[in-house]
């Protein structure tokens, strides 16, 4: 378990994923107007369309959440439900704060992770890790048929949070994204047994490469960029190959990081550790501030030549997110509350 607690490679992969999230969000809020791109002939649309596969670095976040869940010492259902409600509340609060009360119940990544955590904790309390794997596999292979079967009911909220909907309210549906959380959980279960084996890391690397190869051969490793709504179903209701590519990328990153970085010591308040340990608060911060700062920056630095705004926001968000992550370590992970009781005379 000490190896898991001091899993530097995981911190490195989380850093890469969070950095990608910051850069990609900054990119799209700058080039889009209310998440729409009106000029499809411009430089930024063309370059975005060619590099949509980089979104895979964000899509491994659910796998990382599954990894983190497995590192918990206790998967007590009551505690996990409390955690799920807490992060879901943060997600709904974020919706209202950024996009208004009309989007309060928009289904985003935090709500999805809360639901996934409850499902996994239930399976682990009453069954075993094998059932987590089987459900993850079932979700992965049944998403397409289930989505088609329930298509006419996708306007119903409870249905849409499971299979998705063609609107601006539902993101990260349970099908297929739970498969990533579940596989991340199962991967960590296996890693606990073989963490020091070079053969395990090499095998993981080749498995990841094989999964990405399948996605490439299926021409599904990169989603379509919809200029009418950049966060639309083409991304959040992905094709089978795109999910495989996300699993594959995680395998490649974690195995490579295991070989290269697991023996190094991270600076407690360095950018890697701050992004990794403060990932929740960095996510909330950059979602809010990247949206509103982009509006302000584009007023003073319009998105035309020399495109100065394009460099200001990403650099600013990288630095500020680093400070937010470091602050979360100081305030939430290092502070201890000591209560002393005195007997009344």
Q: What is the DSSP string of 185-230?
A: HHHHHHHHHHTT-HHHHHHHHHHHHHHHHHHHHTT-SS----TT-T
Q: In this predicted structure, what is the pLDDT of residue 292?
A: 93
C-alpha distances in Å from residue 227, one per residue of 48, 56, 223, 299 = 10, 19, 12, 22
Q: In this predicted structure, what is the pLDDT of residue 337?
A: 43
Give the pLDDT band of residue 38 (cuts 50, 70, 90): confident
| pLDDT reading at 106 higher than 90 | yes
Mean pLDDT value across the chain: 92
Write the CB contacts of 202 (distance below 8 Å, at least 6 apart in sequence). Answer: 255
* Least confidently predicted of 46-50, 197-201, 206-210, 215-219: 197-201
pLDDT tens digits for 203-242? 999 999 999 999 999 999 999 999 999 999 999 999 999 9
Give the residue with greater pLDDT, 198 vs 212.
212
Write the CB contacts of 9 (distance below 8 Å, at least 6 apart in sequence). Answer: 254, 257, 258, 260, 261, 262
| pLDDT reading at 1 higher than 50 | no
Q: In this predicted structure, what is the pLDDT of residue 4?
A: 67
Q: In this predicted structure, what is the pLDDT of residue 120?
A: 98
Give the pLDDT band of residue 138 (cuts 50, 70, 90): very high
| pLDDT reading at 341 higher than 60 | no
């Amino acid at each position: 378990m000490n190896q898991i607690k001091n899993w530097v490679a995981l911190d490195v992969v989380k850093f890469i994923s969070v950095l990608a999230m910051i850069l990609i969000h900054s990119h799209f809020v700058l080039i889009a107007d209310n998440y729409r791109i009106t000029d499809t002939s411009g430089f930024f649309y063309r370059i975005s369309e060619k590099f949509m596969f980089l979104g895979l670095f964000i899509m491994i976040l659910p796998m990382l959440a599954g990894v983190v869940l497995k590192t918990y010492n206790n998967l007590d259902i009551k505690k996990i439900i409390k955690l799920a409600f807490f992060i879901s509340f943060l997600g709904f609060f974020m919706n209202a704060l950024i996009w208004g009360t009309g989007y309060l119940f928009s289904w985003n990544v935090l709500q999805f992770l809360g639901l996934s955590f409850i499902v996994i904790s239930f399976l682990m309390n009453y069954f075993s890790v094998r059932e987590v794997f089987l459900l993850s596999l079932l979700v992965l292979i049944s998403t397409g048929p289930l989505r088609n079967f329930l298509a006419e009911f996708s306007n119903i909220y409870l249905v849409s949070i499971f299979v998705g909907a063609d609107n601006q309210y539902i993101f990260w549906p349970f099908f297929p994204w739970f498969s990533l959380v579940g596989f991340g959980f199962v991967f960590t279960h296996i890693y606990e047994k073989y963490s020091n084996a070079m053969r395990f890391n090499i095998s993981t690397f080749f498995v990841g490469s094989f999964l990405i190869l399948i996605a490439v051969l299926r021409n599904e490793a990169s989603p379509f960029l919809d200029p009418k709504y950049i966060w639309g179903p083409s991304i959040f209701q992905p094709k089978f190959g795109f999910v495989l590519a996300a699993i594959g990328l995680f395998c490649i990153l974690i195995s490579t990081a295991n070989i290269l970085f697991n023996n190094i010591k991270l600076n407690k308040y360095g950018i890697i550790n701050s992004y990794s340990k403060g990932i929740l608060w960095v996510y909330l911060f950059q979602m809010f501030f990247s949206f509103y700062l982009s509006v302000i920056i584009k007023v003073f630095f319009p998105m035309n030549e020399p495109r100065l705004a394009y460099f200001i926001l990403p650099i600013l968000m990288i630095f500020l997110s680093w400070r937010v992550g470091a602050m979360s370590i100081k305030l939430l992970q290092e502070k201890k509350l000591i209560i002393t009781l005195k007997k009344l005379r």
